[in-house]
Chains A and B, each alone.
Chain A
Amino acid sequence: MAGCDDVLSYFLRRLILVLPVAFGVSVVCFMLVQIAPGDPLTAIMPVDATAEQQAAMRAAYGLDKPLPVQYLIWIANLLQGEMGRSIASGRPVAGEVFGAVSNSLLLAGAAAVIAFPIGTFLGFLAGYFRDTILDRFITALSITGVSVPNYWLGIVLVIIFSVNLGWLPSMGAGPGGSQDWHWDWAHIRHLVLPAVTLAVVPIGIVARTVRALAGDILSMDFVQALYAKGLSRGDVLRHVARNAAATALSVMGLQLGYLLGGSILIETVFNWPGSGFLLSNAIFQRDLPLLQGTILILAMFFVGMNLIVDVAQAAIDPRIKRT
């Protein structure tokens, strides 16, 4: 029986598999600063600093130690929630990143709320009416959605809805800026364009997945058997939906992770004060601790999302081998 214990033990087994990946991700983030050209100190040191001053600074930041030791110090601090200070602003990286990531999550979440139901609906229609005009139309639509450079789409939407029609604002997160989000129209209207823009690619991907799934399951023998048994169309579709749920949910879960990563370009287009905005500032100010911290948090979020998707899939679908 698919009991709770089963799912829990599956979760623990997956967790053990995820730990080495998380370790690897942290190494990659650590190495980001190492592959960056130039000395990380040049950004903060005055040009005329003496050799002793440079050495003192180097020691203060721990840059005089061998790389593995630097990594261990970094990771030890990290586990205590200490991610260093932003070189540009001097503020703790952790605070800046979490503020920005919560704004990104808001945007990614809104895009997911738009994309998943629409994608599922379109994909199901296409799969159910396979090889009809409707199917062709939806398939063409989803290929277009997957192919569109969404940062360009954002600009086009701004041209239409902000410049020409003047209906919606083209940038920012509303009055009060990033710190002060409320669920009222004054704020939500700022969310509409970026969220719609960000939703287009996942709509295409979800629609393609659901179409293939629905088509495959509808052609299985058990569907005929259900009809033969005398079930109504709606009841049969419930069975089909149950069969498709696990895979569809896992695709959507991964897409939520991709949305968070993909929002970087969209946030730049709309000046949305999220992690992408923070990241591009970090890049242009050569603020490497901030860059490192932002990437690490986003990647870890994605790793965690993968884990949740795996476990949720196993919990929904007892056929998934729990080995």
Chain B
Amino acid sequence: MSQVETAVPAPTHRGYWSLVMSRLLRDPVAMACLAVLVLLVCSAIFAPWLGLADPYKGSMIARLKPLGTPGYLLGTDEQGRDMLSRLIYGGRLTLFIGLMPVVLAFFIGGALGIVAGYVGGITNTIIMRVVDVFFAFPSVLLAIAISGALGAGVLNSLVSLTIVFIPPVTRVAEAVTSGVRQLDYIDAARASGANALTVIRVHVIGNVLSPVFVYATSLTSVCMILAAGLSFLGIGVRPPEPEWGLMLNTLRSAIYVNPWLAALPGVMIFATSLCLNLLSDGLRSAMNVRD
């Protein structure tokens, strides 16, 4: 019996990332968090064009106005500066110092981990033992120690937080790379004459990147809290720059006058870090897809 083989259309092969995206789009919590974060980032970037009051211009007669004062929607701070404007402008430095270290640590730590995991031997030992040493410090302590020694400033905060987050990223990248390296197809690639760089570029990075990326996103919330915490301690951003942690610090003296105003910058830090955590959780479950 001759059966005519009907040409079955090949299943449209969707890429891994488009699958992740479509899953993420169906996650309402993650999408809500993404929306909040996009709003925060956009309002920070476009702050100068939003028609806000000057975030640096104070007024002696309009100090610590409560929320809802006409002309000052969210009140004013201890120097009479418009809170709404300062909170939105504050997103610029806060989000930058809160997210950039993880981005830098993702690239630097990822590269170190891949090299350590792929090359192995003495290179691995050197890199991973140094990582172990930095791991011996609780992250808050290490960030404060380095920032405290270097002194206040945006660049110093970036440096100290990047140093804090390189070791954990390196450790994850190394573990994943070591696992991938033992797979047969890597041996096959090497046997066919590909050099180390080609093997890493073509076969290793693709497999290592996504777990390391998910791990890095889970660090953003901690980084955000730490970055604002450094400014809160006075070893991060310098006044009079608007920055949420610093604003929380300078408004502390106002808790007896206008308590809920003083808590506002912290609400911004909290909301951002909560959204980062929830989005990272959503991404993690979206990337575990096997369908």
Contact = CB atoms under 8 A, between A and B. Distances in A.
B266 A36 contact: no
Contacts of B232: 151, 265, 268
Contacts of B140: 258, 261-262, 264-265
Contact of B281 (A36, A143, A291): A143
B221 interface: yes
Interface string A26-50: 0111001101110000000000000
A155 B255 contact: yes
B263 A21 contact: no
A302 B136 contact: yes
B229 A25 contact: no
A138 interface: no
Contacts of A243: none
Contacts of B225: 147, 149
Given A143-B278, A143-B281, A159 B146 contact: no
Nearest to A23: B133
A152 B255 contact: no
A145 to B, nearest CB: 10
Contacts of B255: 155, 158-159, 163
A32 to B, nearest CB: 4
A291 B234 CA distance: 15
Contact of A264 (B134, B141, B248): B141
Contact of A279 (B133, B136, B148): B148
A36 B149 contact: yes
A237 to B, nearest CB: 28
Nearest to B265: A152
Contacts of A73: none
A53 interface: no
B233 A280 contact: yes
Interface string B124-143: 00000110111011111100
Contacts of B148: 279, 282-283, 291
Contact of B136 (A32, A265, A303): A303
Interface string B235-260: 10000000000001000100110011
Interface string A148-160: 1101110110110
Nearest to B135: A21
Contacts of B138: 257-258, 260-262, 298, 302
B137 A261 contact: yes
Interface in B184-214: none
A28 B263 contact: no
Contacts of B248: 151-152, 155
A144 interface: yes
A185 to B, nearest CB: 24
B6 to A, nearest CB: 43
The secondary-structure label for the interface of chain A is helix
Nearest to B145: A295
Given A20-B129, A151-B229, A36 B150 contact: yes
A147 B270 CA distance: 7
A54 interface: no
Interface residues of A, number: 50
Given A21-B132, A25-B136, A261-B137, A159 B260 contact: yes
B228 interface: yes
A24 B149 contact: no
Nearest to A20: B129
A146 interface: yes
Contacts of A22: 136
Most buried by B among A149, A264, A265, A295: A149
Contacts of A269: 252
Interface in B142-165: 144-146, 148-151
B269 interface: yes
Contacts of A149: 225, 228-229, 266, 269-270, 273
A58 B140 CA distance: 33
Contacts of B146: 32, 35
B261 to A, nearest CB: 10
A23 to B, nearest CB: 8
A163 B255 CA distance: 8
B221 A284 contact: no
Nearest to B274: A147
A20 B248 CA distance: 40
Nearest to B266: A152
A269 B259 CA distance: 15
Contacts of B139: 261
A164 interface: yes
Contact of B270 (A32, A152, A283): A152
7 contacts: A21-B132, A21-B133, A149-B273, A152-B269, A260-B138, A269-B252, A291-B148
Interface of B: 129-130, 132-134, 136-141, 144-146, 148-151, 221, 225, 228-229, 232-235, 248, 252, 255-256, 259-260, 262-263, 265-267, 269-270, 273-274, 276-278, 281
Interface of A: 20-22, 24-25, 27-29, 32-33, 35-37, 143-144, 146-149, 151-153, 155-156, 158-159, 163-164, 257-258, 260-262, 264-265, 268-269, 279-280, 282-284, 288, 291, 295, 298-299, 302-303, 306
Given A21-B136, A36-B151, A295-B137, 17 more contacts: A21-B132, A25-B137, A147-B277, A148-B273, A149-B269, A149-B270, A151-B266, A159-B259, A159-B262, A261-B140, A262-B140, A264-B140, A265-B229, A283-B144, A283-B235, A291-B145, A295-B141
